[in-house]
Amino acid sequence: MDFVAVMMGSKSDWEVMSHCVEVFKKFDVPYEVLITSAHRSPERTKEYIKDAESRGAQVFIGAAGMAAHLAGAIASMTSRPVIGVPLSGGVLDGVDALLSTVQMPSAMPVATMSVGKAGAVNSAYFAMQIMALKNKELFGKLLEDRVMKAKKVELDSSEIEVRVQ
C-alpha cells in the first residue's frame, strides 16, 4: 500500500506536525509517523527509510528545527521525493532550520516548505499532489478541495463586502 512517511527529529515537533497528519486523515491518505534524528539516531533513520520504501512509502516528510538536517539525511538515503518542514526553535526561531533545509547540494533535492504550521499543512498537500499523479481518486479529492476553498473565500467575502453604491 502506498503511504507517506512523516519523520520528525523530536517529540516536541509533534505539536506542529500533527497538523500535517490531520490533513492526511481528512483525505484518507495512509501515513506513518516516526521520531528519529539525523544526529542522535542516524542508524534508526537509515533502517526506517529502507523498510518504509520496501513497504510502499512514496514520499518522505522530514521535520526538524535548529540545524534541521533530517530532511537532508533522508534525501541522502532515498530517491523518493523528500519534503522538508523547518520548525521553530533555537536562537534564530526557525530561520536556521529554513536555511539548513533549503540549502541542499546539487542532486540531493528537498522540497522545502515554510517554517511551522503552514509548512506542515503544505507538506501534506504537496505529498498528496505527488501521490495523485498515480491516484485519480486522490486527484479528484484535491480538485474538490480547491473548489471548496474558493467557495469559502466568496462566502467569507459576502459576509463583510461593501461596494460603492
Q: Which residues are annotated as a binding site for substrate?
A: 10, 13, 40
- CA–CA distances in Å: residue 24 to residues 51, 124, 141, 161: 21, 7, 12, 33
Instruction: Label residue 113 left, alpha or beta by phi (over 0 means left) and psi (-120 to 50 means alpha).
Output: beta
pLDDT at 67: 85
pLDDT (average), residues 129-149: 98
Q: What domains does the chain contain, in order, with CATH numbers?
A: 3-134 (3.40.50.1970)
Q: Residue ranges for the binding site?
A: 10, 13, 40
User: Running DSSP on this structure, what letter comes out for residue 79?
Assistant: S
Which cell numbers hold the place of 138? 486522490
Q: Model confidence over 82-114: pLDDT tens digits?
A: 999 999 988 899 999 999 999 999 999 999 999
